Amino acid sequence: MFVEPVKSVGLAHLSYVVGHGGQAVVIDPRRDCEIYLEIAEKYGVAITRIFETHRNEDYVIGSRELARLTGASIHHSGATKFAYGETVEEGDTFRVGGLELMVLETPGHTFDSISLVLRDTTSGSAPLAVFTGDALFIGDVGRTDFFPDRKEEVAGLLYDSIFNKILTLGDQTILYPAHGAGSVCGKGMAPRDFSTLGYERMHNKALTVGSREAFIARKVAERHPLPPYFKQMEAYNQEGTPPAVLPLPRPTPFTPEAFEARMARGLQVVDLRSPEAFAGAFIPGSFAFPLEMLSAYAGFFLEYGTPIGLVAETHDQIDMAVRRLVRIGYEKVVCFLEGGLAAWEQSGRAYDTIPAIHADELVRRIEEDDDFVLVDVRDDDEWDAGHLPGAVHAFLGDLPGNLDVDKSRRITTFCGSGARAIIAASILKQNGWTTVEDSLGSMMACQKRGCPIERD
């Protein structure tokens, strides 16, 4: 009997293979789904069922791709009108060898959210674990802002799902959620992948607020980014229409000359290198999406219709970027710059740079009233928790439309650590701001250096 989590870094998405006695189910598979076949092979089991804990909005679910490869059936709630699969209801029970999965309807994050209770019938009747989807996380609960008109209602639904259903399974129950820290589906998750219902009951900040009312008030007050790509994910996941992606697309190596020519015909250039490397030299017009930021921010900026070309330092980066893009619905990754940026430089083509500004220099400029604009691209909660004096707030995901600063001004982009600042800098450069710097280290460095920090 095994539970094997599969973590998709970037999305911080957790899917699971659960098996016994020659059979297995997969819960919330991702689209590049070979890994489930490999796990099934390792344990000597056939994948016979696939469960979706809800209609996911932040990635393309891989159910249909996996079903094509295995013949497994797909199961999800009837609360959404899915164009494929079979519906399940509260209490439905599925046997997999000696283990049992029972459906709990746990709406709140969405109306169609279900949880799956795992029992080991070979050893006892108590719940052993529960797969909670986006209802309950380690350290937090799911966001409830997808129905702006019914905020209280859905927050209340989530409270009931958690307190009246999930937690009643008992303290001993191991918790397997659909996301870990770093996901856009919740903010307060613990950077840890193991917990139990008992531990969460005692220490999860969202569960220890005292009353149903306090829980609802807390949820209603939350603010979450709503990336535009969610729409595409919802359509894909409801209709079951994403095209087959295996074997994964392999972008073709392009010489600088061919890459430039392709850009002229329409190419979204995604530069996967580190913030420092992008700052050191980059192709004018390209997006800075350091690989570890790609999943979280590409969906705010990239169009689905236009092909994508990559700039990277290693083939590993390219392979990982293709996976991460495919997971959020971008299949048209057509080429990469062979030889990397060095080949571009050596070809004599133009490159641009973004000077890095240290925290001490920021303070000096602020104190000496130098002529520059500090553009803080963090989200509302981060901004409200404290920012540098004189900074302008413009959330990264809404750039450049939300930035009302003259394009001739000297701008320094600023975020939590420097990673979002480089993305912002690349967006501003694309959109006509000419003098753009970024703050490597940003707020973390400022805090260490004791910079002055204000709250509105």
Footprint (CB under 8 A) of a second copy, residues 292-331: 313-316
Q: Is 197 helix (H, G, I), strand (E, B) or coil?
A: helix
Q: Binding of a second copy at residue 37 (CB under 8 A)?
A: yes
Least separation in angstroms between residue 79's CB and a second copy is: 30
Residue choice 171, 303, 367, 380 for contact with a second copy (CB under 8 A): 171
Return the axis-axis angle of helices 419-430 and 291-301, rounded to nearest 10°: 40
User: For residues 227 and 242, which CB has a smaller minimum distance to a second copy in the complex?
Assistant: 242
Q: Binding of a second copy at residue 120 (CB under 8 A)?
A: yes
> With CB under 8 A as the contact rule, which of the stretches 80-88, 218-226, 248-256, 383-391 interacts with a second copy?
248-256
> With CB under 8 A as the contact rule, which of the stretches 100-108, 154-162, 247-255, 405-413 interacts with a second copy?
247-255
Least separation in angstroms between residue 318's CB and a second copy is: 8
Joined together, the tokens standing for residue 92 give 């439905």
* Residues 254 and 343: beta-carbon distance below 8 Å: no
Q: Binding of a second copy at residue 367 (CB under 8 A)?
A: no
Give, as ranges, the residues between 436 and 455 that touch a second copy (CB under 8 A). Answer: 440-442, 444-449
Least separation in angstroms between residue 196's CB and a second copy is: 4
Sign of CA dihedral 191, 310, 288, 277: positive
Least separation in angstroms between residue 138's CB and a second copy is: 9
Q: Binding of a second copy at residue 434 (CB under 8 A)?
A: no
Q: Binding of a second copy at residue 126 (CB under 8 A)?
A: yes
Q: Binding of a second copy at residue 89 (CB under 8 A)?
A: no
* Residues 98 and 123: beta-carbon distance below 8 Å: no
DSSP letter (8 states) at residue 53: S
CA angle 119–120–123, rounded 5-degree value: 130
User: How, if at all, do strands 23-27 and 13-20 pair?
Assistant: antiparallel
Residue choice 39, 61, 102, 279 for contact with a second copy (CB under 8 A): 279
Give, as ranges, the residues between 191 and 210 that touch a second copy (CB under 8 A). Answer: 191-199, 201-203
Q: Binding of a second copy at residue 172 (CB under 8 A)?
A: yes
- Give the CA distances from residue 258 to residues 251, 281, 334, 335, 354, in Å, rounded to whole numbers and listed in that order: 13, 19, 12, 10, 25
Least separation in angstroms between residue 235's CB and a second copy is: 26
Least separation in angstroms between residue 226's CB and a second copy is: 28
User: How, if at all, do strands 2-8 and 13-20 pair?
Assistant: antiparallel
User: For residues 95 and 250, which CB has a smaller minimum distance to a second copy in the complex?
Assistant: 250
> With CB under 8 A as the contact rule, which of the stretches 106-114, 171-179, 224-232, 362-370 interacts with a second copy?
171-179
Give, as ranges, the residues between 384 and 403 that touch a second copy (CB under 8 A). Answer: none
Residue choice 73, 255, 430, 435 for contact with a second copy (CB under 8 A): 255
Q: Binding of a second copy at residue 417 (CB under 8 A)?
A: yes
Q: φ, ψ for residue 376 (rounded to 5)?
A: -95, 115
- Give the CA distances from residue 198 to residues 82, 117, 132, 163, 173, in Å, rounded to whole numbers and listed in that order: 34, 15, 14, 12, 7
- Give the CA distances from residue 388 to residues 96, 340, 450, in Å, rounded to whole numbers and listed in that order: 56, 36, 11
User: For residues 334 and 392, which CB has a smaller minimum distance to a second copy in the complex?
Assistant: 334
Helix intervals (H) in 179-334: 197-203, 212-221, 230-239, 256-264, 275-280, 291-301, 315-327
Give, as ranges, the residues between 62 and 81 that touch a second copy (CB under 8 A). Answer: 69-71
* Number of separate helices (H) and strands (E) present in the chain: 15, 20
